[in-house]
């Protein structure tokens, strides 16, 4: 793999279009409130609210990085407006689509899971702000894991708050958001088999295609180690 492969986030699309549409709608709603009779003012207020929400969504899309992932011969990098993290290819143990076990069926999730060999390289470089965002982003997935455990006869604790102190196998102690992320990765590994999760909105292709891309890049990278 000689060149950098950049993956443009799906969530980034149509940001400017949404902002423009929202501003046009906001102008029309202002005209509505000025010229329409009192009985129709409620519709104007609703249109104004919808316009502001549209502008906000568009602005949030614009704020996202132009690319969500960078794949180089040395590492895999995740990019977010709250920070980034990089994983050496030789620290990735497995990449695949997690499955939710319900009874006898195995339902694939709309995610790509990454299982690490060692946590320390990630914990040493990720920012607390991005770690906090990952914890919040994974709350629905954790709730699914809790329901899965209950169906199987044993439940997780009802708490979604992780311990803020973590000691790595190498003996290093992490605290705060970084420690909470480490505990969360352990819980998610127990539930689904993976430590980190990439969401469909962050990809530019189907989950299976993205998995195959990562596996191909990793294989080529490991051939040069």
Q: What is the spatial distance between Cα 51 and Cα 19, in angstroms, rounded to a whole number?
A: 9
Antiparallel, parallel or unpaired: β 165-167 and 111-116: unpaired
What pTM was computed for the model? 0.75
Q: What is the spatial distance between Cα 110 and Cα 30, in angstroms, rounded to a whole number?
A: 41
Tokens of 164: 């803020």
pLDDT for the residue 1: 46
Tokens of 153: 């006869």
pLDDT for the residue 20: 76
pLDDT for the residue 105: 66
What are the pLDDT tens digits along the chain (225 aa)? 457 888 886 655 666 676 677 788 777 888 877 777 777 777 777 888 887 787 776 666 666 667 889 999 899 999 988 899 999 999 999 999 998 876 566 788 889 999 999 999 999 999 999 999 999 998 888 887 776 666 554 555 556 678 889 998 888 999 999 999 999 999 999 889 999 999 988 888 899 999 999 999 999 888 876
């Amino acid at each position: 793999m000689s060149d950098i492969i950049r993956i443009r986030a799906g969530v980034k699309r149509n940001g400017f279009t949404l902002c423009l549409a929202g501003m046009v709608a906001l102008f029309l709603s202002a005209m509505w409130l000025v010229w329409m009779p009192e009985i129709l003012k409620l519709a104007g207020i609703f249109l104004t609210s919808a316009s502001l929400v549209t502008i906000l969504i568009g602005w949030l899309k614009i704020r996202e990085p132009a690319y969500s992932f960078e794949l180089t011969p040395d590492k895999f990098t995740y990019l977010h407006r709250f920070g980034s993290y990089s994983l050496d290819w030789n620290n990735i143990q497995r990449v695949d689509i997690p499955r939710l076990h319900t009874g006898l069926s195995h339902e694939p999730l709309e995610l790509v899971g990454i299982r690490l060999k060692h946590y320390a390289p990630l914990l040493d470089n990720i920012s607390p702000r991005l770690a906090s965002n990952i914890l919040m982003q994974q709350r629905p997935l954790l709730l699914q894991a809790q329901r899965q455990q209950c169906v199987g006869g044993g439940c997780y604790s009802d708490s979604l708050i992780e311990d803020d102190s973590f000691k790595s196998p190498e003996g290093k102690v992490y605290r705060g958001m970084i420690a909470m992320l480490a505990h969360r990765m352990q819980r998610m590994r127990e539930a689904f088999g993976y430590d980190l999760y990439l969401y469909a909105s962050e990809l530019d292709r189907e989950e299976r295609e993205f998995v195959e891309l990562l596996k191909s890049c990793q294989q080529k990278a490991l051939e040069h180690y």
